[in-house]
Structure 1
Amino acid sequence: MSIKDRLRGYSHEVEEALRGLLKGKGIPAGLREAMEYSLLAGGKRLRPVLCLCFARMLGAEARAAMPFAASLEFIHTYSLIHDDLPAMDDDDLRRGRPSNHKVFGEAMAILAGDGLLTEAFGLMASTAGELPPGRVVEAIATLARAAGAGGMVGGQALDMAYTAKAGVSLEELREMQAMKTGALITAACVCGAQLAGAEPDVLARARSYGQSVGAAFQIVDDVLDVVGDEKALGKPVGSDEEQGKTTYPALIGVERSMDLARRNAAQAVESLSPFQGPEATFLRDLAQFIVDRVS
C-alpha cells in the first residue's frame, strides 16, 4: 500500500471522529456552521495522525488518544482561519474554497477560531477518563506551550514582523518557522508519546522527529508557493513573494531549499531507528512523502 493510501486511511479515522465533536454542545447554529466549515474542509490531518501514530507505536490505544489527537486539528484549524484574515495574511482561498471570513464575515471567522481553540482544551481534558490523568496533564502542558505565545502564536507575530523587512537572516527564518509551523507538529509527536507513558529518551526521539519533519514541511511549503500548482494546492501560488514574506527560496533559492528539506527528512528517519512495526514504518515513509509532495 502506498504512503498516500496509508495516510488517507489514518486521516479517515480522524475525519470520522471530527464529524461529531461539535454536536450537542449548545453552540449557536451560525457559529457551529462557521466552525465546521473550516474544520471539516479536508486536508492531510497531519498533526492528529502524528499524535495517533506515536501513541500507537508506543503502546497506547488509538481510541483513547483520539480526542486528544482531534484537539490538534481544532487548534490547527483555528490558526488557519485567523491567518487568512485581512489583518494577517489576507488570503481569500483555503483548500480550494473561499476562506472562512469570505463566507461568514470577519467577526464570525474570529469567533469560529476562538471557539475551536477553546473547545480543543475540553477535548484534551476528556482523555483523562481513558488514560492516566498525569499523562494527560503533561501532554496538555506540552500542547499549550506549542500553541501559545512562545510557539505558534509567537511565530505568527514574527512572521508579520519580518514581512517586507530587509535583512532577515537564515537563522531568524529558521526560528520563526520552528515556532509558527514546527512547534505544533513537534507537539503532536511528543504528546502522542506522552499519552503512551514514554520515557525521557523516547520523548527526545519523538521531539527530534517532529522538529525535523516540521522543518521539512515548512521548507517544502515555501518551495511550493514558488513552483507549485495552484489547483493541487487549493490556494494561489506566488503570494509569499507578493506580500514580501521571508522564505527559504527567497534567501537560498529553490534547489538549496529542497536539499535542506531532504536533510531534515533524513534526520527524522534517523530519530526512529530504535522503533519497529507498522506505525514506525509509516512515520519513516511519511518523512520522505513530506519532501516529495506536490500539495
Structure 2
Amino acid sequence: MDFTDVSLTALRVFRAVAEQGTFTAAAASLGYTQSAVSRQIASIERAAGAELLVRRRDGVRLTPAGRIVMRRATAVLDEIDRAARELSGLPGPGGTVRLGWLPSAGTTLVPRALAALRRGDPGVRVVSREGTTPALARALRAGSIDLALLASAPPFRAPDAESPPLALQTLTERSLCLAVPEAHPLARGEFADVADLTGQQWIAGPSSGADVLLGVWPGLDERPEIAHTARDWLAKLHLVAAGCGLTTVPSAMAAAVPPGVRVLPVRGGPQETRRLLLARLPGPPAEPVVRLAAALRAAALEVDLDL
C-alpha cells in the first residue's frame, strides 16, 4: 500500500464519485470525461491495494476500505482548501459550516435560520447548496458538507444503508398537502378528498430514484397524468396558479405560495406525513456546526408556531 504517488486530482475525483454516486455524474460535475474519472479511480485503488468502490447497477457505494480512504482524503483536501483560503485572505474555515438543504426547506426554514444566525452569531459563516435527499446523504458521507436537511416519508427508514448510520434529528413532522388553483372546483372546500384526486392533471418533479413523481399524491389507484414537469418548487406553484394542474406541498410551504393557489389538507386515505431531518456524520460536531444546528431547530419551532 503506497499513497506517495496519489495526486490531489485523484483524491478530488474519488470524493466526487462517492458524493455523486456514479462515474458519469462525477465526470459531469468536474468537467472530465468518464474515462478520465475511471483512470483516476483505478490509480487510487492500485495505491490502496484494495477495492474502494462497489460498482452496482444503480451506482457506486464505498467499501469499508473506501470509507477509510474517504475520511483521509477529505482531511487532506480540506487542509489544501484551508491553505488556499488563508493565502487569498479569505476567512479561515474555523467558523465555516457547509449546509445542504432540500428545495422545500429553502423557502422558509433555511432563510429564517441564517438570518437569525447572522444577527446572533455573525462569526459563523455558512455556505450552502440545494440537493435531493439521496444526493445530500452521499455528500455527508463524502465529507463535502457538514449538515443536511433531509426528507423522510413513511415508513421513515434511514436516508441510506451505509455504516455507520448518520446522526439524525427530526425537526418537523407535518402532513403533506395539496396545492390547487383558486379557480379549481376542489378549491371551494376546506379540504380535498382523496377520491376526488382521480383523473386530475399533475405537476411533478422529474423522476430520479427516491424522488419519483415528487408532486403527485401518493398511492393513487391509477397511472397519474403528468401535465408538466418542473424541478423547482416555485415553478410548480406558479404553474398551479396558472391553472395547469395540481401538485403536493409540505404544509410548511403554505406561507410561501404565490397568489392564485390554495393549499388544502387531504382526507379519506392513509395519513401522509413527511419529516424534515437534520443529519450529520456521527461523532462530536465542531462548535460552528452546533450553532447552526441550534439556529435550524429554533427556526423550525418558529415556523411551526406560524402555521
TM-score band, normalised by shorter chain: under 0.3
Q: TM-score w.r.t. structure 1 length?
A: 0.26
Higher strand share: 2
**Higher Cα Rg, which structure:** 2
Higher helix share: 1
Q: TM-score w.r.t. structure 2 length?
A: 0.25
